[in-house]
Amino acid sequence: MSDFKPTRLGVLTSGGDAQGMNAAVRSVVRTSIMRGLEVYAIMEGYQGMVEGGHLIRKMDWDSVGGILQKGGTLIGTARSDAFRTRDGRLIAAKNLLINGIDSLVVIGGDGSLTGANIFRQEWSSLLAELVQKGEISQAAADSQPHLLIVGMVGSIDNDMFGTDMTIGADTALHRITEAVDAIASTASSHQRTFVVKVMGRNCGYLAVMGALACGADWVLIPESPPDVDNWQDVMVERLKAGRKAGRRDSIVMLAEGARDREGKYIGSTDVQRVLEDRLGEEVRVTVLGHVQRGGAPSAFDRNLGTLMGYAAVEHILNTKPEFEPVVIGIRGNRITSAPLMYCVEQTHAVAEAIKEKDYETALGLRSPSYKEAFRTLRTFVRALPHAPEPGQRRLKIGVVNAGAPAPGMNTASRAAVRLGLDRGHLMYGIRNGFEGFAQEDIFEMQWMSVNGWSSMGGSELGTSRHVPKGSDLYALARTIEKYKFDGLLVIGGWSAYEAVYKLNQERANFPAFNLPMTLLPASINNNLPGADLSIGADTALNSITEAVDKIKDSAVAARRVFVVEVMGHHCGYLGMMSAMSTGAERAYIHEEGITLKDLVRDVEDLKRGFHSGKRLGLVIRSEFANEVYTTPFICSLFEEEGKGVFDVRQTILGHMQQGGQPSPFDRIMATRLADRCITYLIEHAIKNDAQSGFIGLHGGSIQFHNIEDFPRMVDLVNQRPKDQWWMELMPIAKVLSGAGPEIANNM
Ligand code: ADP
C-alpha cells in the first residue's frame, strides 16, 4: 500500500445548485484547515478546473464565514462541456497539478460524480500525456501519482442511490409546502382544483413527500405510474369522493417525470384538461420550477451539508489512493459512505428501469423510508369514511394531545382520525389533555373535523401537562368505561409518557386501563425515549435558525456578541443543532454543563476573534444548561470582560419555538407515525391485547417500545433519554465553530 498523504484539497460544486451546498463547502474548508490541509475552492465547478487561473483559489477560515444561511453555492457551479471531453480533462489535470491539489471533494449530482470518477481513473494516463506533450516535467508527474476523490450529493430531488437524503431536498420540500399551503388557502375559498408540478425527472421523492406534507389528494410520479390504463377515471373518482366527504379544494401533485404505464409523459396541462372536463370546474396549474431551489437552506440541509463535509475530509485523510472512491450519505441519522460508482450505477439503473417500464425495479431501488412514505400516501389518498365491514367490530378510539404544544400535533391527530374512520371505526377527540379526559371533555370526530389540520401549528384538541394522579384516576377509569374506549392514541411529550406509564402501572387497581395505548412522540425538546426525533423538534429548529439569521443580519455594522437562549429543558438537542445550523461559536447545554473556566476561555476566545477582525459573535445557551450561569449572568460577564472590544445582546427566543406551521419533515413523520399507531391500536384491540407502548423513528426504522421500558430508557431526573445519538455530533460542531485545534486533534 502506498504511504501517500494528502496535503492540498480542492472542493467544487457542480451541476444544479442546491441549498446546503454552502454549508458543505464551509465544512470542507474548515475541517481541512483544522486537520492541517491546505484547501482550494475550484470556482464554477469543472469549468473552473478547466479554466484554472483565478478560478482556483486558496481558502482560509474566514473565506467561508457568513455563508451558512445563503442559498445556492457561493463558489459557483456550472455545467462544463469541456470537462466531458478528454482534452478538457487534460487541461483540468494540469491545473490541479500546477496548484498541487492531490485530493478533491466533489459536491454535485450523479453527472458530476460520474465525471469525477472518470477523471480519477484517467489520472495517470492524463499525466503521462501531459509529460509526453511537454506540458509538465516527469518529476512533476511523479510528485503527484494519485488523485483522491470523495463525492457528496447535492441535488434537490433526492434522486441518488446510497443516501436517504441529498443536500437540498429538505429545503426544496420547505418551498413546496409553503407554496401549496398558500395555494390551498385560495383553493378552499373558491372550491377549486390545483395541479402542482414539482421537480423530479426520475424521482418522485418531492412529489410524494410534498403530497404527504400538504395533504394532497392525488399524486403522479415516475417510478410508480397509475396501475390502470384508465387512471384518469380513477383520479377523477377519488377527487369527487373527496368533495363528497366535504373538501372544498383538491390538489394533485405531479412530478415533472410522471408518466403512465406505457411510459408516456403526463403533463400538467393533460391533468388540467381531464379535470376541467370531468369535474366541470376551474383547474389551475402551478409549476413550481426554480422556486424549489430558492431561499435560505433549511436547518436540516445546513446540518446535513456540515456533517457530510466533515465526513468527506475525514475520509480523504483516512483512505488510500488504491481504495475505491466513495460518496458520503446518510442513513437514519448516521453519516455513511458507499462506493461512488456503485451508487452512480444504481441511480442510472433506476432511470433505466423507468425507461424500460420496469416500475417494480425502479421503486425497489428507492430507500426504505421513501417506499414506506409512498405506501402511507397511497393509503391516504384512498382513505374515505367507511362503514364497518359486515361482521367487523367497530372500535372506539380516543385521541388525546398531552404535554406542551408541539408543531405537528394537529397533523398527527388528523392522520389518525382519518385513517381510523377509513377503517370503519369510531374516533373520539379528547380535549385539553388528561385534564379534559378526566372531565369528560370528549366529542366524536368526523372526516371534516380535522379539515386543514395538516398544516396548522399548535394543538386544536388542546393539550395540558397534567399527569393524572389520585382522584383523576377514578375519573379517567369512569370515562373510559362510559365511552367504552377500545384504544387510546396519546400524542405528546414527557408528561404524556408519564401519564401513560402511570395508567399502565395502575391497571391492577383500575381494570378500565386495560386497553392498548400508544404514545406518538411530539415535543420540540426532542427528549423522548425510542425516538431519534420527536414531532415538533424540526420545526422548532427551523424557527430558531430563521430567528438567529435575522438577529445576525441586525448586527452588520456593530461589533457585537449575541447570547441566544433556546428551549429544550434539560435536553441540549435544540441548543447543539441550532448552534450548528447558525454557525454559533459555542453551545452551552446541560449535558456538558458550564464551568467558570469555560466562560473565561470563551470570553478570551471572543476577544481574540474581535481583535483579529471578527464583527459578530454568537453563543447559544440551552435554557436549563446551568442553574447559576444563567443567560443574563453570561451576558453580564461577557459585557464586562469584553468592554471596549464588543458589546453583548441577550435574546431569549421563548414560546415562538413551540408555535408555527409544522415543517415538512414534522408533517411527514407525524403522518407516518399516526398511520403505524392506528394500525397498532386496531390490531391489538381486536385481539384484546392491552400491551401499550411508545413509537418512534429509531436507528433508521420506525419501532415500538413497551411502555414498561420507559423508566429504563430515560434519565428520570433530567427528563431525557439515556442514549442521545446527537451527542456524538458535538465534537464536529466544535471543530466547525473553531473551538481550537486541540479539540480537533483530540478526535
Ligand atoms: P448533476 O451533477 O447535477 O447530475 P450534470 O449531469 O449536468 O449535473 O453534470 C454536471 C457536470 O459534470 C457536467 O457539466 C460535466 O462537466 C460533468 N459531467 C457529467 N457527466 C460527465 C461524464 N460522463 N464525463 C465527464 N464529465 C461529466
CATH of the domain at 583: 3.40.50.460
Greatest pairwise CA separation for the chain in angstroms: 92
The number of folded domains in the chain is: 4
Highest-scoring range by mean pLDDT, 307-316, 318-327, 344-353, 375-384: 307-316
Cβ(119) – ligand 1 distance below 6 Å: no
161 with 44, same domain? yes
Mind listing the pLDDT tens digit for each residue in 709-741?
Answer: 999 999 999 999 999 999 999 988 888 887 543
How much is the pLDDT for 739? 59
- Cα torsion angle, 416, 419, 421, 425, sign: negative
pLDDT at 281: 86
Cβ contacts of 530 within 8 Å, gap of 6 or more: 521, 694, 695, 696, 698, 703, 704, 705, 709, 713, 721
Distance 159 CA to ligand 1 centre (A): 15
Q: Is the CB of 166 under 6 A from ligand 1?
A: no
Task: State in Å: Cα 37 to ligand 1 middle.
Answer: 27
Same domain membership, residue 150 and residue 97: yes
User: Which residue's alpha carbon is nearest to atom 12 within ligand 1?
Assistant: 112
Question: Which atom number of ligand 1 is nearest to the Cα of residue 113?
Answer: 2
Grade residue 705 by pLDDT with cuts at 50, 70 and 90.
Answer: very high
**Is residue 336 pLDDT above 70, yes or no?**
yes
3-state secondary structure 402-459: ECCCCCCHHHHHHHHHHHHHHCCCEEEEECCHHHHHHCCCEEEECHHHHCCHHHCCCC
Residue 348, domain member (yes or no): no
Residue 555 is predicted with a pLDDT of: 78
Q: Whose C-alpha lies nearest to ligand 1, atom 7? A: 15
Same domain, 548 and 452: no
Identify whether residues 480 and 446 lie together within a single domain: yes
Range of the domain at 620: 537-660+730-746
**How high is the pLDDT of residue 553?**
87
Give 574-583 pLDDT, tens digit per residue: 999 999 999 9
Judge if 654 and 683 occupy the same domain.
no
Q: Is the CB of 46 under 6 A from ligand 1?
A: yes
Same domain, residue pair 598 and 669: no
Residue whose CB lies within 8 A of the most ligand 1 atoms, among 47, 51, 79, 341, for a mutation test: 79
- At 46, which CATH number? 3.40.50.450
359 within domain boundaries: no
Per the rule left: phi > 0, alpha: psi between -120 and 50, beta: everything else, 20 is left
Residues 259 and 186 placed together within one structural domain of the fold = yes
Please indicate whether residue 13, judged by its CB atom, sits closer than 6 Å to ligand 1.
no
pLDDT at 742: 36
- How remote is the CA of residue 321 from the centroid of ligand 1, in Å? 23
Q: Is the CB of 117 under 6 A from ligand 1?
A: no
Ligand 1 atom showing the smallest separation from residue 155 Cα: 3
Domain-located, residue 146? yes
656 shares its domain with 666: no
pLDDT tens digits, residue range 52-82?
999 999 999 989 988 999 999 999 998 999 9
Do 402 and 254 lie in one domain? The reply is: no
Q: Is the CB of 15 under 6 A from ligand 1?
A: yes
Catalytic center residues: 157
SS3 sequence of 592-661 = CCCCHHHHHHHHHHHHHHHHCCCCEEEEEEECCCCCCCCHHHHHHHHHHHCCCCCEEEEEECHHHHHCCC
Q: Which residues pair with 703 in a beta bridge?
A: 696
Does residue 367 fall inside a structural domain?
no
The residue from 332, 358, 382 where one domain ends is: 332
- Which residue, by CA, sits nearest to atom 20 of ligand 1? 111
- Asked whether 193 lines ligand 1 (CB < 6 A), one says no
Asked whether residue 576 is assigned to any structural domain, the reply reads yes
What's the pLDDT band for 272 if we cut at 50, 70, 90?
very high
Residue 175 lies in a domain: yes
Q: Could you tell me if 419 and 530 lie in one domain?
A: yes
More confident site: 245 or 304: 304
> 1: pLDDT confidence band, cut at 50, 70 and 90?
low
**Residue 266 sits in the same domain as residue 192:** yes
Round the average pLDDT of the chain to a whole number and report it. Answer: 93
Q: Are residues 23 and 162 in the same domain?
A: yes
- 524 lies in some domain: yes
pLDDT of residue 740: 46
CA distance 18 to 618: 26
C-alpha–C-alpha distance, residues 7 and 24, integer Å: 20
pLDDT tens-place string over residues 502-553: 999 999 999 999 999 999 999 999 999 999 999 999 999 999 999 999 999 8
In a domain, 100, yes or no: yes
For ligand 1, atom 15, the nearest C-alpha belongs to 80
* CB of 79 closer than 6 angstroms to any ligand 1 atom: yes
Of the candidates 449, 446, 500, which has an alpha carbon nearest to the alpha carbon of residue 705?
500
How far does the centroid of ligand 1 lie from the alpha carbon of residue 104, in Å?
A: 15
